[in-house]
Amino acid sequence: MKIQVIRSTKRRKTVSARLNGDTLIVRAPAHLPESELQQAIARLQKQVAAQNERRTLSDAELHKRAQMLNRRYFDNQVHWQHIRWVSNQNRRFGSCTPARGTIRISHRVGRLPDWVQDYVIVHELAHLIEANHSPRFWALVNRYPLSERARGYLMALGLHDDEPASDEKEAPA
């Protein structure tokens, strides 16, 4: 982790840090003694590293899970750029941008039973084959045996289906 210190006369007391790529950008008051600054940097470095570790691990686990489900239900035919947890989707269980091959899963799903999480991942993976909610899409999703049950479970929690962007542009078949 590289460190870049920005001292500011506007800042009175607090030292803050933000990770930008692999550089920790530290903002500090202009007159803070160097020894105090170094202590604050050490503390912030630890915090940022811990946060990053947690996020990387859970995204990595999600990726592994998706690989396993891809093998089991889609013969490894689904390819994606990334799959990650997001905390800004509270009503949708997940979303997918087929054109970019990206999948986002709501952090709320992370607290649900494994078999429901698996359904959500299978649902989003299937969107990379079929972007819409066509019968062909549901046939793919239903390869996962607990699909119906998981849909009911999510509905009861008020977690709704995603709306893939490509749905809107879909010409009526």
Q: Which residues bind Zn ion (CB under 5 A)?
A: 161-162
Within 10 A of 103 (CB to CB), how many other CB atoms are there?
Answer: 28
Report how far residue 102's alpha carbon sits from residue 82's, in angstroms, rounded to the nearest whole number: 5
Comparing CB distances to Zn ion, the nearer of 15 and 162 is 162
Q: How far is the CB of 67 from Zn ion (least distance, A)?
A: 20
Comparing CB distances to Zn ion, the nearer of 15 and 62 is 62
Query: Cα(first)–Cα(last) distance of the chain, in Å?
Result: 53
Comparing CB distances to Zn ion, the nearer of 118 and 162 is 162
Alpha-carbon distance values, 39 to 11, 46, 60 (Å): 17, 11, 32
Q: How far is the CB of 66 from Zn ion (least distance, A)?
A: 15
Q: How far is the CB of 161 from Zn ion (least distance, A)?
A: 5
Query: How many residues does the structure list for the chain?
Result: 173
- Which amino acid makes up residue 125? L
Q: How far is the CB of 137 from Zn ion (least distance, A)?
A: 7
Report how far residue 35's alpha carbon sits from residue 43's, in angstroms, rounded to the nearest whole number: 13
Measured at CB, which residue is nearest to Zn ion? 162
Comparing CB distances to Zn ion, the nearer of 24 and 162 is 162
